[in-house]
């Protein structure tokens, strides 16, 4: 056995899904697990459902906040209650395949930051849906590959719901809030904290791992943060996080990031509704837009158009 794996399930008003989610954790072929479930003062029957299933299996450890502490602080409480060596965040509306933990652990060697699997996004039937973050084969890639693709929005996950980490990295890098110049409360909207966890962890290791099978099953419904947020809101807040990471931890890509957010502002003029008016709002240091990097980014976007069209078409066909 490689050690205890803590499966962390933060919950708020998920009475329709929470039993399925917990059951998918219980069904793991790797049995040395604990399941930390923290209810964030739900107003529906989620807590009673959690208590009911917890009586049936001692691996389930239920907790409840007296008041709603916001989504990210609830994620942190899950981390704080865990005792395992490895950690897997499982959103309370999602599922994982029975061999998710087993297959991720097989790749999580000392040089590997995290392991994620291909994702299937489903509505009603978890056996069908749209596949995201697919790769040709299971194995390892250099962490710099993940970082560059995550920074510039190309084909890697930002949600830890498809990944396995070490608990020490979750404790170090799952930040409740993220410094910014526009007064955005990341602890409450929870857009970007997830990506920063990946980026900060990746920079500390040589490799990351990928599993080609869709072992993480994301449920598509109007109650999820991603589905309920506008495209502009997601783009702006994730880019605030990208800019923060580049400025403080990955300055080799700072000029490119400045060009990236300049293009983003042109694409989303509604950024002003989030108090973001100029490139300077993304950075604490003095920056300037370099024409060379604008050209490089525009060229890469044009070159990537066929792939994006194919992905969008597949989503339409899949009904997600």
Compute the Cα dihedral for 311, 313, 317, 319 and give only its sign. Answer: positive
Q: pLDDT: is 135 or 36 the higher one?
A: 36
Compute the Cα dihedral for 207, 210, 215, 216 and give only its sign. Answer: positive
User: Given a cut of 60, is residue 214 above it in pLDDT?
Assistant: yes
Read off the pLDDT of residues 143-154 as tens digits, 9 standing for 90 and up: 999 999 999 977
Read off the pLDDT of residues 93-130 as tens digits, 9 standing for 90 and up: 999 999 999 999 999 999 999 999 999 999 877 887 79
Residue 109 located in a structural domain? no
Residue 86 located in a structural domain? no
Residue 203 located in a structural domain? no
Residue 225 located in a structural domain? no
Read off the pLDDT of residues 12-45 as tens digits, 9 standing for 90 and up: 999 999 999 999 999 999 999 999 999 999 999 9
Task: Give the three-state DSSP class for 5.
Answer: strand
Do the strands 86-89 and 95-96 form a parallel or antiparallel pair, or are they unpaired?
unpaired
**CA-wise closest residue to 81 among 7, 27, 14:** 7
Task: Give the three-state DSSP class for 112.
Answer: strand
- pLDDT tier, 228 (very low <50, low <70, confident <90, very high otherwise): low
Tokens of 282: 């993304």
Q: What is the pLDDT of residue 305?
A: 60
Do the strands 95-96 and 207-219 form a parallel or antiparallel pair, or are they unpaired?
antiparallel
Measured distance CA(201)–CA(158) in Å, rounded? 12
The mean of the pLDDT values for the chain is 92
Q: What is the pLDDT of residue 204?
A: 99
Q: What is the pLDDT of residue 310?
A: 46
User: Given a cut of 90, is residue 192 above it in pLDDT?
Assistant: yes
Domain coverage including residue 237: 231-318
Residue 250 located in a structural domain? yes
- Count up the domains in the chain and report the number: 1
CB atoms within 10 A of CB 220: 18
- pLDDT tier, 9 (very low <50, low <70, confident <90, very high otherwise): very high
Residue 13 located in a structural domain? no
- Locate all alpha helices (DSSP H) within 95-250, ordered by sequence: 100-107, 143-151, 167-173, 186-189, 193-202, 225-228, 231-249
Residue 290 located in a structural domain? yes
- pLDDT tier, 308 (very low <50, low <70, confident <90, very high otherwise): low
Q: What is the pLDDT of residue 110?
A: 98
Q: What is the pLDDT of residue 38?
A: 99
Residue partners of 127: CB distance under 8 A and separation at least 6: none
Q: What is the pLDDT of residue 135?
A: 87
Are 225 and 233 within 8 A, CB to CB?
no
Residue 206 located in a structural domain? no
* Percent over 90 (pLDDT), the chain: 82
User: Given a cut of 80, is residue 229 above it in pLDDT?
Assistant: no
Measured distance CA(301)–CA(53) in Å, rounded? 48
């Amino acid at each position: 056995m490689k050690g205890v794996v803590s499966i962390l399930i933060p919950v708020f008003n998920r009475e329709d899904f929470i039993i399925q989610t917990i059951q998918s954790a219980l069904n793991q072929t790797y049995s040395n697990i604990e399941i930390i479930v923290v209810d964030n003062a739900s107003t529906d029957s989620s807590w009673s459902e959690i208590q009911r299933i917890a009586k049936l299996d001692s691996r389930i450890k239920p907790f409840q906040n007296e008041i709603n502490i916001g989504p990210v602080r609830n994620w942190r409480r899950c981390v704080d209650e865990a005792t395992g060596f490895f950690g897997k965040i499982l959103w309370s509306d999602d599922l994982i395949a029975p061999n998710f933990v087993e297959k991720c652990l097989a790749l999580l060697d000392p040089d590997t930051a995290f392991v994620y699997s291909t994702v299937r996004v489903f509505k009603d039937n978890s056996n069908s849906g749209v596949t995201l973050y697919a790769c040709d084969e299971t194995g390892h890639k250099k962490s710099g590959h993940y970082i560059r693709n995550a920074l510039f929005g190309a084909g890697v996950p930002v949600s830890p719901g498809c990944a396995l980490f070490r608990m020490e990295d979750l404790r170090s890098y799952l930040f409740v809030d993220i410094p910014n110049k526009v007064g955005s409360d990341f602890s409450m909207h929870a857009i970007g904290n997830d990506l920063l966890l990946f980026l900060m962890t990746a920079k500390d290791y040589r490799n990351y791992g990928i599993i080609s099978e869709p072992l993480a099953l994301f449920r598509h419904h109007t109650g999820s943060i991603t589905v309920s947020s506008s495209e502009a809101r997601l783009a702006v807040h994730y880019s605030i996080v990208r800019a923060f990471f580049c400025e403080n931890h990955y300055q080799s890509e700072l000029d490119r990031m400045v060009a990236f957010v300049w293009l983003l502002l042109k694409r989303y003029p509604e950024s002003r509704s989030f108090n973001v008016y100029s490139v300077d709002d993304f950075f604490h240091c003095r920056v300037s837009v370099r024409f060379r990097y604008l050209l490089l980014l525009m060229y890469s976007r044009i070159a990537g158009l066929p792939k994006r069209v194919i992905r969008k078409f597949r989503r339409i066909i899949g009904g997600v």
